[in-house]
Structure formats: structure tokens, C-alpha cells
Chain A
Amino acid sequence: MTDIYQDSIEQSVEKQYTISILTEDKPGLLNAVTIVFTRRKLNIDMINVSASEVEGVSRYTIVLTTSKEQVEKVVKQIRKHVDVLGAFVYNEDDIHYQEIALYKVPTKIFVGGVEVEQIIRDNNARILVIEKDYIVIEKTGHKEETSRLFEILKKFGVLEFVRSGRISVSKSKRRTETFLEELEKSTTHSLSNNNGTVN
């Protein structure tokens, strides 16, 4: 009985999940994916959409905080969409992930001292652009790391700050192309082809 109780607790505890989705690259798909969240009043923490390594296939990385039970249902609903090739849910331990942040700061804060330069070194950031009035600093890392640098730079005056959504790759060794090939082969498209097939 304790196990079932523990299991149901685990199902309902909220934590951060990363959903990775492969879709056909078609207009409207982003809307089709996000309405699955809207309908359940789930707030998306981060989202990134871009072309994958396979031509014509988009990869979505969506981060949200919710229960295991809810995220599993959401992923099943996303998979149901006709133009979705695959959708997977990951814990933070199952993926390698990164975000990128850009900080636009006044050029003058670099003048007359080494403090800012040292901050950039210490945070493994780099200078992307130098203009007369401003400098753009770039940093990649996890949210805590890019936030930490923001907090430090804030006292010098940050003109603009932007952070991307998470991008991630899974720790699985499988290639995306192999997944797509298997997808084409393993599943049936009509009942007549499926008579008696057993996996």
C-alpha cells in the first residue's frame, strides 16, 4: 500500500520537465503544439523552435513545471497531432542543455578599470560587439549562470537583456535520422497492411 501511495505522490509532485518534439516544418504547427498547453492552463517556462539536422523537420524544446502525470498526458496529446513525428519528455538528468543570454551594457563601464573585464573572464562570457555607445556581452549556460551574470552587471547598468529558450540534446545514442527511418518502417498506415502483425 505504501508503494502505491508513494507512486501517487511522485505522480503529483511538480518539477521541471523538458519536452522535445520533432514535427514537419509547416506553418501553424507552433500554434497546434501550444494550444495543448493553453487548454490545460499550463504555463510554458521556455520554448525554442528551429530546424533540426534533418531537412524539413523542426525541433521544439519546451520547458515547463508540472506534475509527472500531467506532462505525460500533454506529451500524448502532442503526439496525437497529425504533423508531429515524435514527442519525448525528459528529466534534467536525461539531457544536456544550454541557454544563451545577451547583455547590452554602456561602453563607458569598460573605461578606466579592469572590474568588468574580470567579471567577463570569471563568468566565461565573451564580448560579441563593441559599438561607440554600447557593448554586447554573450554568455551561454544554464539559467542560474546567466542570471548570476545579469545580477552582477545590473549595478553597472544593463541597457537590454535577453535570454533564449532552452535547447537540449538527449543522452540517448540514437540519431534523429535513425528514429525517423524506424518510424516509417515500424508502424502501419492502414488496416489491410496490419492484419495479424505483431510486434
Chain B
Amino acid sequence: MEKMDTIQKPPSDIGEKKVRISGSEALILSLLEEGVDTIFGYPGGAIMPIYDALYHYQDKVNHLLTRHEQGAVHAAQGYARVTGKVGVCFATSGPGATNLITGIADAQIDSTPLVCITGQVVAHLLGTDAFQESDVLGISMPVTKWNFQVTKPEEIPEAIAKAFYIAKTGRPGPVLIDITKNSQTDKLDFEYKPCKKIRSYHPYPALKKQDIEDAATLINNAKKPYILAGHGILISGAEKEVLTLSEKANIPVASTLLGLSSFPPDHENYAGMLGMHGNYAPNLLTNECDVLIAIGMRFDDRVTGDVSRYASKAKVIHIEIDPSEIDKIIKAEVGVNGDAKQALQMLLPLVKENTHTDWIAEFRRLDKIEFEKVIKKDTFPDGNEIKMGEVVRILSEISDGNAIVVTDVGQHQMIASRYYKYKKPNHIVTSGGLGTMGFALPAAMGAQVGKMNEKTVAIAGDGGIQMTIQELGTIFQYNIPLKIIVLNNNFLGMVRQWQQLFFEKRYSFTEMVNPDFVKIADGYGIPAKRVSERADLQNALQEMYDSEGPYFLEVKVEMEENVFPMVPSGDSVSNIRLE
């Protein structure tokens, strides 16, 4: 009886006076204190008391039951990436927790704020190989920003407060809190205090004036300055500052994969996407620029290619909040350690107005070559078969670049990154660093739930969709109005492309015999259609886009299409191939 009384206390009581409640209820109240409105999860033995507490708070927080814990963590990632809030997921001990690991590793490398709550066996059974016990702390340690095991209920409020503070500040990342079952059932005197400071953790390094001045001097004297726009711009909300810098000093801007949507794609200074399958000009001209201004990015090997032949004529300014990224891959002439928005706000007044007309014209000249040799054929093909590029181009036109696009990993990911014009910040969600196949469907689901008023489209290949296809069940159960496009070429396309180019066409286990996707969607009660003729494509995409609820569109595309341009693995960006 006492339990029911305390559970029904409104959460507004908390923080003012201590209330004696169970650890489970304390967890739910702590999450409410942090402003959590959505949780993705999957129950099981060791987390049942938490789910029981959640049962009483269903009016305050929206919990979605996914079909697999990997679905829950990717959904939390998608939610976090589009809302800027911390994504939250629940899983039970043992297999529940280990199923989260891929998503946690993905969130770590792509700087996504998550708080993952896992149930754990009772504290006295730790280390005894109890049923569904695994060393989740040990397993998750290399892939979390922070993790903590709660073994006493009194630890819950502080652990959750720290978890949210760490996950969302500085360079964001995933935090895992493992809660033993006894801590869930035992009582504590609950009081919640948000975390504002940890003495050993300094998420926002103070900028050094000298670094900013040195950066300004380099920029002001540059003949061919070049901005690389990374994910950090979106995280710190520095889109306006980057635009101002680019316009004031007339500097071309290229984007990393995760930096897409941080700069207007139709802007005359926009150079396109960097990387192995990025645009021609931004890759090639990296070795022509004299000052490289890298903002909130980490020089992934897919961006640099061979580092010894990267930015060979350039002095590098690296603006980055994570000090371990500066000089990690590319030596910086000037390392500016701090928040991108703050750094740019300090830098802008010191940057002189300038023009680099000839330099920007070099980009435009190379753009024309890429358009003639690649883009035209991809987006306006004249062959019989549908190409991935035209699907993305039409989607971009129909949605006017305003949809949230969530991709999986592989050829279609590169095509979706290249040909969709992302006009709104944080409107692309993709697995960049980890390259997690199976990401798109659950992440898009989470993104859609986070932004119910915005059209959200998942684009996946026939391989990736089948890695997490069970999440159609979640979409069905909650009627999530997500649009799903499967670009089906009956191949693991990117691997096949490499086999064609570098393994003499030995297609070792990349061909797929696929199920009838339309029937599968139909089984989940999701309207579905298959398109294999160009004549039907425009209407099918329009119908999908205009539909109210969820929609599944399978597009049969050319089987052996290759993605170009391409910087061969380990080669210099200067050797980018157009065919």
C-alpha cells in the first residue's frame, strides 16, 4: 500500500522535499527531471521493477517498445540527432545490454548524446555467472563516454544527473548506467539535484586569444583559404557563424558527411561533400588550398585518404572542442581548442573582408566536369534501369530539401548524401564513423518520433534493411508515419563495387536473394509499393511522400551500379577517380 501511495505522488513534489520511494521510481522521476519525454526500450527480468515503475508514469513519458535492443539504441540515436536532446533507451541485463553495444559504439564515434539504462542482476550475484549476467560495465567501457554501475538505490539520482550532464556537454557521447535489481526495488530518500559541474571533467575548454589571433592572421593572408565544415558546427549551432565567415572573407566551404546540412547547399560558396565518395572539386582542391580551416571535424581516413599527401600546400587551422583530436591525424599550425560557435564568434571580428573569386571559380570549373561525367548520368540517366541517384534527386525535389533523411550504410548512403539538398540543419541522420548497417530503419523511427511534425524518410539498401527489418513491427504498433525507401539492387552494393574494382569481379557472397518486401510490409499493415519502371517512379515517390501514415516503397534499381567519384582506399585525394 505504501508503494502505491508514493508512486501516485505527482513529480512536482520532488526536489523540494525528500520522499521515500523505490529506486525504480527514483529513476523514472530523475528522467522526468531531466526533461525526458521519450524512451525506447525492451523489458526483461533484470529491469522489470523499472518497467513496473514506468507503468505508473505512462502519462508523463512516452515509451516505445522496439523489436530488438539494437532497434532501441539506434532509435534513441535518431531521436537525439534531430532534436539535440539526449536519447534514452532501456534494456535488460545480459543479452539485452550486449545488444545495445553496436549502437553505443556508433553514438560514441558520431558524438551522439545517449543515456542507456540497463538492468543488472542483484548486487550480491555480481560476478557469479548468474542468469543473464554479463560484465556490461567492462564491455561498454571502451565505447562509452562514461559508464557507472549502481549497486545501491541512493546512488540513482546522482548517477542519472551526471549521466545527462556528461552525455550532452562538450563533445557529446553515450553514457551507460547499469542498475542492479536490488537498487531498483530497495527504497531511498529521493531528492534530485541536476549536475552542473564535475571537477575532473571540463567540457568547454577556455579559448586562447592567441590561437584566435593566429588563426585570423593566417586567414587574412591566405590566397586560397578553404573551410571544412564538420558535425561540430551542428552540435554547437554555429551554422550562422560559418556562413558569415564564408561570406565575409569569401571562402569556399566543403562539408564532411556528418557536417551535411550545416551550410546551405545552394550557396555560391558551397563546394560540396568531402570524402571517398564526396564531390570532385572539394577533394581535389584540398591539395591546392593554402589555409585549411577545419571546424568541428576529426579528419577521418575516409576524408583524408593518404595523410602524407593530404592538404600538402596548406597551413591547417583546426577548431575542435575535443583536445585529443587536434594533431591526432593532421598536424595543426593553429589548434583552436574550444566550442566552434564561441571560437567563430571571437574569430569573426578579426577576419577581414576579402574576395577569392578565382579560387572559387576553380571549384565551379571542376563541378562542371563532375556534372558531365557523373552527376548527369546518376540523376538524369537515359538507360532502361532506375538509378539510385534519380530516386534521391526526385525525393529532394518533391520535399524541396526539407525532409529529415535517415540513411543506412553503403552505396545508397553515399548517393543520398550526394544528391539530396539538405536545406535544414540536422536533417540528415547517418552512421558515419562506425558505418553500421541496419541503422536506417530504427534511427529514422526515432527521428520521426522526435519530430512528429516533419516528414521523415528512411533510405536503405536491400542488405541493411534486413538487418533490422523487425522494427517494422514498432512502426506498425505505434503508427509512426515514417516513409521507407528500399533501393534494391539484390547486392551488397558497396562491397560488390569494391570486388569489381579491386578483386577482379570475384563477387564473394555479395549477391542477395531477397524476400518479397512488399508482402513483408503488408504483413505489418504498412502500405507498400514496388517500382521497377522509371515511368512510375515520380508518382510512386509523390504518393509515398504525401501519405499520412507509414509507407514502404521498394525501388528496383540497376544491379551493378557504381558510386563515383571515388578516392581509392589509402590513395591521395588528388587521385580521385571520376569513372
Contacts and interface: CB of A to CB of B under 8 A. Distances in A.
Q: What are the 3 closest A-B residue pairs judged by CB atoms, nearest first?
A: A187-B202, A76-B324, A189-B197
Interface stretch (B138-146, B416-424, B426-434, B518-526): B138-146
Interface in B326-381: 327-328, 339, 342, 346
A82 B206 contact: no
Given A73-B324, A187-B204, A199-B208, 16 more contacts: A28-B141, A31-B141, A35-B142, A39-B142, A73-B328, A80-B322, A83-B146, A83-B200, A84-B200, A187-B206, A189-B203, A196-B342, A197-B206, A198-B208, A198-B346, A199-B209
Contacts of A189: 169, 196-198, 201-204
A26 B167 CA distance: 19
Given A28-B137, A190-B169, A198 B209 contact: yes
Nearest to B205: A187
B495 interface: no
A99 interface: no
B364 to A, nearest CB: 35
Interface residues of B, number: 30
Contacts of B200: 23-24, 82-85
B196 A190 contact: yes
Nearest to B147: A28
B379 to A, nearest CB: 41
B138 A82 contact: no
Interface in A32-77: 32, 35, 39, 72-73, 76-77
Contacts of A73: 324, 328
Given A31-B138, A188-B202, A79 B323 contact: yes
Interface residues of A, number: 32
B124 interface: no
Interface string A10-32: 00000000000001100010011
B322 A194 contact: no
A31 B149 CA distance: 14
A190 B205 CA distance: 10
A100 B380 CA distance: 75
Contact of B198 (A39, A77, A82): A82
A196 B208 CA distance: 10
A191 B339 contact: yes
B171 to A, nearest CB: 9
A85 B142 contact: no
A50 to B, nearest CB: 18
Nearest to B322: A80
A172 interface: no
B497 to A, nearest CB: 30
Nearest to A189: B197
Interface in B394-429: none
B199 A184 contact: yes
A32 B137 CA distance: 10
Contacts of B328: 73, 76
B138 A197 contact: no
Contacts of B207: 197-199
A180 B164 CA distance: 24
A10 to B, nearest CB: 14
Interface in B151-171: 166, 169
B204 A35 contact: no
Nearest to A35: B142
Given A31-B138, A79-B323, A199-B208, A194 B342 contact: yes
A147 B256 CA distance: 54
A188 B204 contact: yes
Interface string A158-194: 0000000000000000000000100110111111001
Contacts of A2: none
Given A28-B141, A82-B146, A82-B200, A188 B324 contact: no
A194 B324 contact: no
A86 to B, nearest CB: 9
Nearest to A73: B328
A186 B202 CA distance: 10
Contacts of B201: 82-83, 189
Contacts of A83: 146, 200-201
Contact of A198 (B197, B199, B206, B339): B206
A194 B206 contact: yes
